[in-house]
């Protein structure tokens, strides 16, 4: 995996997984129809990453339904505050 900020700045870095969470919402398959039941899992996998240049970001994905396009979209990337710039309790 590549760091989106390093990639934009044409830098190289190593990306490390810092943590992941998976929501735990219950769901069931839809009623059988043409092609069989659909599995629209509403749970989101959220993974936090940090690169060796100090950039932090997270990626959110869903399990794709094998019968339709639900969950097949591109993962959502969110850039987080770099660790060096984050200072709790300090106001500007």
- pLDDT over 80 at 35, yes or no: no
- pLDDT over 70 at 86, yes or no: no
- pLDDT over 90 at 16, yes or no: yes
| Residue 5 banded pLDDT, cuts 50, 70, 90 | very high
Residues 60-69: tens digit of each pLDDT: 999 998 888 8
Helix or strand run (H / E) with residue 76: strand 76-80
pLDDT of residue 32: 75
pTM for this model (two decimals): 0.77
Secondary structure (DSSP) of the chain: ---HHHHHTT----EEEEEEEE------PPPP-TTS-------EEEEEEEETTS-EEEEEEEPPPSSSSTT-SPPEEEEE--GGG--TT---
């Amino acid at each position: 995996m590549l760091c989106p900020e390093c990639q934009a700045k044409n830098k190289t870095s190593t990306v490390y997984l810092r943590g992941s969470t998976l929501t735990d919402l219950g769901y069931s398959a839809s009623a059988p129809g043409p092609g069989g039941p659909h599995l629209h899992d509403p749970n989101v996998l959220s993974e936090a990453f940090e690169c060796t240049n100090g950039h932090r970001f997270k990626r959110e994905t869903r399990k794709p339904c094998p019968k339709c396009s639900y969950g097949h979209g591109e993962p959502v990337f969110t850039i987080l505050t770099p660790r060096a710039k984050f200072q709790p309790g300090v106001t500007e």
